[in-house]
Amino acid sequence: MIERNRRQAAQGSVNAMNDLAMGLRDRYRLLGDPADLLDGIAQLRTAIGYVPDHPIRHPLQVGLSSLLHDHFLHFGDLSALHESLAGCEASIPLLDGEDRLVAAMVRGETLILLAEHTRDPAYVTEAVESASRLPRVPAAQYVLGKALYIRYELTHDPSVLVDAARVLEESVLATPVDDPHYALRLNQLGDVLQRSAEHTGDESVRETAVRHLRDAMARTPTASPALLYYKVDLAAALRDRGRKTGDVAALREGVALLREVLDATPPDEHVWENRCENYLIAVQDLVAQTGEIDVLDQAVEMGRSTRGGGGGLGMIPLLLGLLHNERFLHTGLERDLGQAIAAYTEVVETVPYGERTHAVALGNLGRVWFSEYEFRGSPEALRRSVTALGSAARASAPDTTERGETQLNHGGVLYAQYELARDPGILASAGRAFREAAETEALQPMARAKAARAWAHTEAEAGRWGRARDAYAFAVGLLPLVTPRRLARVDQQRLLAELDGLAADAAASAVQANDPETAVRLLELGRGVLGGQVLQSRSDLSRLHAVAPELAERLGATFDRLPPAGHLMGAAADERHDLDVRLRHLLEEARALPGFAGFLAPPDLDELLESAADGPVVLINVSRYRSDALIIRPSGVTVVELPGVTPHSVAGQAAAFGTALAESARPGAGETDAQATAAGVLGWLWDFVTEPVLKRLGYTTPPTDAWPRVWWSPVGRLALLPIHAAGRFPDDTSVLDRVVSSYTPTLRALRHARARHTRADDDLVVVAVEDAKGARPLRGAGREASRIAALTRATRLDGAQATADSVRAALTSHTSAHFACHAASDPDDPSAGHLLLHDGPLSVLDVSALDLSGVRLAVLSACETSLGAHRVPDESLHLVSAFQLAGYPLVVGTLWQVNDLVARMVAVDLHECVSAGEDVATALHHAVHRCRERFDKTPTLWAAYLHSGR
């Protein structure tokens, strides 16, 4: 067709010239060859020259104006837009009908481009007014929606953004999906929704935007120049998702998309710098989450080669400052600090006050001056930091992300100033800044939680404990937003690690305010957050089903589709984010029903107290403010002060115990000293932690009749130590000599375990793996399995039979399970801790995703199956808790690596007692007690074993 029109155009046919130009334009938009664009423009200029006085001149002029848009977008020459506008304005009065409408829309789009690139509000005002007068056809609605969007970009009026989204949605809905303009309009709607979500923090809007933007990309040919623009827009939405939720996969996908865009964009194209800006922003966000210096170094070099100004005045220097500051924070390289200060200073001095870039640069300059203060201790740097951040806060619009981030940083530098001056007025100012940031809903949840925590600490520092309790409660209440179900488990863990100790400080502030009941609630809400999500998804929906069966079905189906997971990319990630937003809306719908206000919410205090019906539960809280044991009984909460316990002392004892464990595993001269050290730690635990509790409970001597039971629930790093083994030896002054000990990560977990119903029979599957790939042989595992299987009716899965699939199948058909195999914990990713089966690992994440009914007991006769992670100790992310979440109300595990012979001895003793009718906790207690008598000088051999659950 193009060649036929070219032959006719060469013969002087004006119509053929027009048709040729339109064909070349379409081919350019499909394949991106600028020669087609220039050829089309030349054809129209020639055609117009042929008809100086003919009416066809005016439609031709409008066609030329349309191609001049493409010329500007490709080459960045503003004169093309001015020529386009002049051509439309000259032609419109002489056109009518469809031609006049087309010309008016081309004029509107020209005004939009001029407004966008000159920042002159007069252009956008004229664009909105003229587009508003057009008929409400899809193409005209699209132009109006774009004009409103640019008005928002210039005015930051959120109501205009709402109008733009509404108008663009009308345009998309009225456009057939097979219309060639459908992808363009859908992408524009997605872009507007993305900005709306960025402004409001509305997750459902963001996920709709991602879906639209991804759909527009999928509908666009690979060679089309439009595809690169669509990738930039999708990358922005993914960056916002990653920034607001902590989803590293989204950040990675956004960086990868922008890298593709840059690789496909010649550096001499005018859009290169704008695309480079987007890439630098995305890299900074990714590195802030992951600390990946290599990608940061590459971005810095790219930014240095792109100093021409980019899409906005001062943007490239601003972004280089961000990257240098980020690199300084991760590496401490002094030159990066100086380069960040220089870059931000350049922007502040060259960008006019009142521009958004100026305010952002001012805030970042304040941050980097604070880094200078922390690095050198310079009071002048701190003064400059306070001044810059105060000015940036005043220049930021209230209730925006920028204002929230600035106030969070402003509060931090004010608190540092307070620490120097001890001025209560400065402390109050810091608290106000932190509070404003915490209450800014547009700010990402993690930043809000950090701000709320800092606000609470200012109240505690001032001795206002009631206010501190309430502020800490606000921070703890944000945790579900910080760790939404949509995130990969590794991202959830990383984010919770940044808030380590929050629950402990919250509870301590409540105790200090004489409110121990609230302390219990805050510990419940602030610990075991990830396990609580699993428990919520396993809740009984029958009460809702009786009232709203369809809602209950939808809720149950959504829970089923949101198990704990790893990283997901692309459409799979979009679906998971959509499901999480849908789940929140379904819960809101259910809680709006009469009598369902607390539906699937964490238990209230009375329900938590009832968890201790079978014996007291002892929450041992360790905080910088104070440390206490909170004894939970159905009658209420009793506080036992633990003045000798501090975070520092616990950390010291845990470090000493860890060293002793490592030394005791190496035969030689140091083994005796290591055992003495371990015994010393157990003695410290007795003196400062357990003996005061047992004394308050009245358990001061060994029992003469039935053994009393106590459930321990230590907070923070205290969970890494064997509370149940505390004592002074060889005297009868130990926990083992007073009570039967069990553990529970939270009261909710114990309540869940007590509610589990098991089958009457007690058939057992015994899994034994002696030779696992990559691990030393466990020659005793087979003998252990044989001894145990001989005690009761048991199914054996040995060696090659013990695959992950066969084990999962066996768990669904047997009441109890015993594992004799290797296990390992992972300090960097505790959910990757695993049992090592014949064909590979069965991880904490794998087991947590199981939902078993009618099961009773899991014995994990392997190493480190109850060892939590130092970074997130309050989450109890280990195999023991995973089996509890899967449905087992009774689980036996170990805190560290165990000796093969001792493991077999304890396991057989345990099963013999259980077969004789003893309950599991008491059976393990006596087995460990007998082991202690045999190895009384080597506590590391017997103290590792523990019972968790009911």
Q: Over 637-690, what HEC string results?
A: EEEEECCCCCHHHHHHHHHHHHHHHHHHCCCCCHHHHHHHHHHHHHHHHHHHHH
Cα separation values, 947 from 3, 197, 469, 751, 881, Å: 83, 47, 33, 16, 11
Contact 511, 626 (CB under 8 A): yes
Side by side, the strands of the sheet bearing 945-949 are 636-641, 627-633, 617-622, 709-714, 740-743, 945-949, 890-894, 857-861, 816-820, 764-768, 794-798
Q: How far is CA 884 from CA 464, 530, 827, in A?
A: 40, 13, 21
Phi and psi at 893, nearest 5°, equal -150, -170
**By C-alpha distance, which of 577, 452, 434 is closest to 505?**
452
Contact 565, 579 (CB under 8 A): no
Phi, psi of 758 (to 5 degrees): -105, 160
CB 843 within 8 A of CB 881: no
- Tokens of residue 71, six digits: 């010329």
pLDDT of the residue at 315: 83
* 773 CB burial (10 A radius; 0-12, 13-18, 19+): exposed
- Are 778 and 822 in contact by the 8 Å Cβ rule? The answer is yes
Q: What CA–CA distance (Å, rounded) separates 764 from 562?
A: 30
Reported as a single tens digit per residue, the pLDDT across 413-464 is 999 999 999 999 999 999 999 999 999 998 999 999 999 999 999 999 999 9
pLDDT value at residue 309: 45
Alpha helices in 513-548 (DSSP H): 516-526, 529-537, 542-547
Q: Map 27-51 to HEC letters.
A: HHHHHCCHHHHHHHHHHHHHHHHHC
How many angstroms separate the Cα of 665 from the Cα of each of 255, 281, 556, 659?
46, 49, 48, 10
CB atoms within 10 A of CB 50: 14
d(CA 568, CA 248): 10
pLDDT for residue 515: 97
* AA identity, residue 685: L
Residue 11 is encoded by which pair of tokens?
Answer: 């013969």
Is 209:193 a contact under the CB 8 Å cutoff? yes
pLDDT value at residue 540: 83
DSSP per position, 807-819: HHHHHHH-SEEEE
Give the closest residue to 907 by CA, choosing from 799, 812, 778, 811. 778
Say what the pLDDT of residue 620 is.
98
C-alpha pair distances (Å), 468 with each of 461, 505, 947: 9, 10, 36
Sign of the CA dihedral running 522, 523, 527, 530: negative
Tokens of 327: 């690199």
Where do we find the tokens 């509610």? Answer: 755
Q: Phi and psi at residue 638, in whole multiples of 5°?
A: -115, 130
Instruction: Report CA 928 to chain centroid distance, whole Å.
Output: 41
Q: What is the DSSP letter of 899?
A: -
CA 712 to chain CA mean position, Å = 30
Q: How far apart are CA 288 and CA 443, in angstroms?
A: 16
Report d(CA 816, CA 318) in Å as an integer.
61
CB 569: neighbour CB atoms within 10 A?
13
The answer to whether 437 and 449 have CB atoms below 8 angstroms apart is: no
Q: Can you say how many angstroms the Cα of residue 545 is from the centroid of all Cα atoms in its chain?
A: 32
Question: Alpha-carbon distance 556 to 541, whole Å?
Answer: 8
CA distances, 161 to each of 17, 151, 475, 830 (Å): 41, 8, 31, 43
Using CA atoms, how far apart are residues 425 and 324, in angstroms rounded to an integer? 34
pLDDT for res 757: 61
Question: What's the pLDDT score for residue 759?
Answer: 58
* Distance in angstroms (rounded) separating the CA atoms of residues 566 and 845: 9
Whether the upstream peptide bond of residue 730 has omega within 30° of 0, thus cis, is yes
Which residue bears the tokens 């992300």? 401
Task: Count how many residues are written for the chain.
Answer: 950
pLDDT, residue 498, reads 94
pLDDT at 313: 62
Burial label, 806 (beta-carbon count in 10 A; 0-12, 13-18, 19+): middle
The DSSP string of 202-235 is -HHHHHHHHHHHHHHHHTS-TT-HHHHHHHHHHH
Determine contact, residues 882/834, Cβ cutoff 8 Å: no
Answer for the pair 76, 106: CB distance below 8 angstroms, yes or no. no
SS3 892: strand
Q: Give yes or no for a contact between 872 and 493, defined as CB atoms under 8 angstroms apart.
A: yes
Contacts of 911 (CB under 8 A, 6+ apart): 788, 791, 792, 818, 859
Give tens-digit pLDDT for 268-326.
Answer: 888 888 899 999 999 999 998 888 888 888 888 888 877 554 445 678 888 888 889 88
Residue the block writes with tokens 């002094």: 334
| 517-545 burial code (b ≥16 CB/10 A, e <16) | ebbbbbbbbbbbbbbbbbbbbebebeebe
At 167, which helix (H) or strand (E)? helix 158-173
Report how far apart, in Å, the C-alpha atoms of 499 and of each of 40, 198, 502, 754, 887 are.
60, 24, 6, 30, 28
Residues of the chain predicted below pLDDT 50? 309-311
- Per-residue burial over 836-857, b if 16 or more Cβ lie within 10 Å, else e, is bbbbebbbbbbbbbbebeebbb
Residue 857 host element (H or E): strand 857-861
